[in-house]
Amino acid sequence: MSRNRVVCPSVLGIVAHLPSSYSSTVWWQQGIRMGLLLLWVPFLNGCSFGFIWQAAVGQVKLLARQQPVERVLQNGTLSEQERQKLRLILDVRTFATTQLGLHSDGSYTTFVDVGGPYVSYNVSAAPKDALQPYVWWFPIVGRVPYKGYFKQASAMREARQLEAQGYDTYMHGVRAYSTLGYFDDPILSSMLSYHDFALMSTIIHELLHQTVWVKGNVSFNESLANFVGDQGTLRYLAQRHGADSSVYQHYLDLNADAEVFREYMQSIVARLEALYAQSLSREEKLQRREEIFADAKAAYPQVFPRMKTTAYQRYFERKALNNAVMLSFRRYHRDTEFFETALAAQNGDLRQFIAYCKSLRPHQIPATFRTQ
């Protein structure tokens, strides 16, 4: 997630070289939004200003390279598979706006080649002996438990600085993000590496962020977006392929496996929370947590018989565990009982459910989501 606006001679110089096909009115509107963010600069410390500035410049550079999707579909620069994914994005976008009532404005009508597998890199952190996220505060979004950088080297530098202070860190590449409607989000070339299911869910997830965002409640926002992304994808597949199709059933199987995996990860979180609550020395806690992590990896194959696909079976081969990693998972995968109950109260109408969530005030967010 990233949203930043800055108006100054250098930024306007970049804007002056934007594609002439993009409305100058739109650019001035987005320039004004950048200017509003600049009003916060006097209240930020040096590090915050530097972070805001790199994010603003990175965002403007993305906007400067965007092209209308229809032009990209016709100019022959993409493979047929990539063009099919662009068409899929446009179709899911139409479904999300017309059937689910999500805000899209001009989002996902332009394309940007980011020149690599990721558009940005996120960094999060946590104490080694507590499941408490390191948090930052920024204008508009409020308190957030992660920072995004357009340059990998900058993200790595941030992670190293946090590690030097004794924190666990987790840095990972980002293929897609939402500016929460402050900009019209383009389709990024990095998104085209997603499996079709992930691409469908991602578009709905990010458009949900543009429609519903409760300031200072990142865990609620991300868990809600995941829930709506999954539910919206099911409805999209049912409409396009039928609820009795093999593609629909395969997505149901993946969701069932995701629930098995979520339960397993939550069991690790519960063991860690119980450990950190004990009156033990820091050194003993650190030793025992490594035992928990090692045990979790060793015991993981025992849940494979409950899974219907192999989608989650290599997770621990690809990722080293620490508190920052566990918090990152929990942030996006809270218990869905609140959402399921609320959806049932709307008679299963996902559009009405989204409208209900949009009406929620911060004090109405369940306490389980208030932990970042």
Structurally, how many domains does the chain consist of? 1
Return left, alpha or beta for 101; rule: phi > 0 is left, psi -120 to 50 is alpha, else beta: left
Instruction: Please report the beta strands in the chain, taking only residues with DSSP state E, as ranges in sequence order.
Output: 67-68, 110-112, 120-127, 136-138, 142-144, 147-149, 167-174, 187-188
What is d(CA 88, CA 134) in angstroms, rounded to the nearest whole number? 37
What is d(CA 270, CA 28) in angstroms, rounded to the nearest whole number? 50
Domain extent, residue 13, equals: 1-64
What is d(CA 57, CA 60) in angstroms, rounded to the nearest whole number? 5
The per-residue pLDDT for 26 is 45
Domain-located, residue 24: yes
What is d(CA 197, CA 312) in angstroms, rounded to the nearest whole number? 15
Domain-located, residue 331: no
What is d(CA 57, CA 61) in angstroms, rounded to the nearest whole number? 6
Q: What is the pLDDT along the chain (372 residues), one digit of tens a residue?
A: 333 222 222 222 222 233 333 444 444 445 545 454 444 444 444 456 667 777 777 878 888 889 999 999 999 899 999 999 999 999 999 999 999 999 988 899 999 999 999 999 999 999 999 999 999 877 666 778 889 899 999 999 999 999 999 999 999 999 988 887 777 899 999 999 999 999 999 999 999 999 998 887 888 898 999 999 999 999 999 999 999 999 999 999 999 999 999 999 999 999 999 999 999 999 999 999 999 999 999 999 999 999 999 999 999 988 899 999 999 998 887 768 899 999 999 999 999 999 999 999 888 888 878 655
Q: How many residues are given for the chain?
A: 372
Domain-located, residue 217: no
| Cβ-proximal residues to 238 (8 Å cutoff; 6+ apart), any chain | 248
For strands 187-188 and 110-112, give the pairing. parallel
The per-residue pLDDT for 38 is 47
Domain-located, residue 12: yes
Statement: the pTM of the whole predicted model exceeds 0.75: yes
What is d(CA 303, CA 106) in angstroms, rounded to the nearest whole number? 43
Domain-located, residue 78: no
Domain-located, residue 258: no
Cα atoms found within 13 Å of the Cα of residue 28, Cβ hemisphere only: 3
Host H or E run for residue 226: helix 218-241
Domain-located, residue 306: no
DSSP count for the chain of H helices, then E strands:
14, 8
**Helix, strand or coil for residue 277?**
coil
168 bridge partner residues = 126
Contact 163, 169 (CB under 8 A): yes
Instruction: Give me the residue label for tokens 């450990």.
Output: 275
Domain-located, residue 50: yes
The per-residue pLDDT for 22 is 40
Contact 125, 131 (CB under 8 A): no
Nearest to 255 by CA among 183, 200, 191: 200
Give the burial class of 188: count Cβ atoms within 10 A of its Cβ; 0-12 exposed, 13-18 middle, 19 or more buried: buried
Contact 6, 53 (CB under 8 A): yes
